[in-house]
Chains A and B, each alone.
Chain A
Amino acid sequence: DVVMTQTPVSLSLAIGQPASISCKSSQSLLGTSGKTFLNWILQRPGQSPKRLIYQVSKLYSEVPDRFSGSGSETEFTLKISRVEAEDLGVYYCWQGTHFPYTFGAGTKLELK
């Protein structure tokens, strides 16, 4: 199975600061279709995960543009240009290229 490694494990930031989360995969996530199925989700405390980004860098329609995703092959990054209170929670990357699909262990974003 593809191993997804996220760093850091946790982030403590003040409102308005930028955030950056890394996600590395043990194999290239570039599929035979030419697409890279790397996704990001956010799980706020006590809630189910919510969609953020798909195919590395595509934001879902309701996601604020302070979020961005980048990367290729085995290295990916989620960035938040300026953290807001509603951004707190655990961020997960997950891959949908190789079955079984697999998830990172999560990065917890907390308020400083």
Chain B
Amino acid sequence: QVQLQQSGAELAKPGSSVKISCKASGYTFTSYYISWIKQTTGQGLEYIGYINTGSGGTNYNEKFKGKATLTVDKSSSTAFMQLSSLTPDDSAVYYCVIAAMGYWGQGVMVTVSS
């Protein structure tokens, strides 16, 4: 069965970066793009962007350009999202999603606090 297993919760300081992972299994990794979604109580669900898992090509929501960087490691069927120059507004739960199949990871809580 298709699974997206995300890395554990992160506590980071303002100005630092975090890199969260999303390990896919149960299907051919390069057959589907992986998207990333941000969820907060205040802003709801926001679409960050997607990565073509075959070519590594990316498409970012303008709002997240410069904030999020999406990469993949095909050898381990893992997608990554790095969030840089963190501020408290980046505190959220982040999901990886295979939009074409409707599968969501379990989410990663990122907390930015000094």
Contact = CB atoms under 8 A, between A and B. Distances in A.
Interface stretch (A13-21, A66-74, A80-88, A101-109): A101-109
Interface residues of B, number: 19
- Count class of interface residues, chain A: 10 to 19
B105 interface: yes
B104 A49 contact: yes
Contacts, number: 38
A57 interface: no
Would you list the 4 A-B pairs with minimal beta carbon distance, nearest first? A51-B102, A100-B61, A103-B45, A101-B47
Contacts of B49: 100
A71 B102 CA distance: 20
A99 to B, nearest CB: 7
Interface of B: 35, 44-47, 49, 59, 61-63, 95, 99, 101-107
Nearest to B63: A100
A51 B103 contact: yes
B106 A48 contact: yes
A105 B99 contact: no
9 contacts: A48-B95, A48-B104, A48-B106, A49-B45, A50-B104, A94-B45, A99-B61, A100-B63, A103-B47
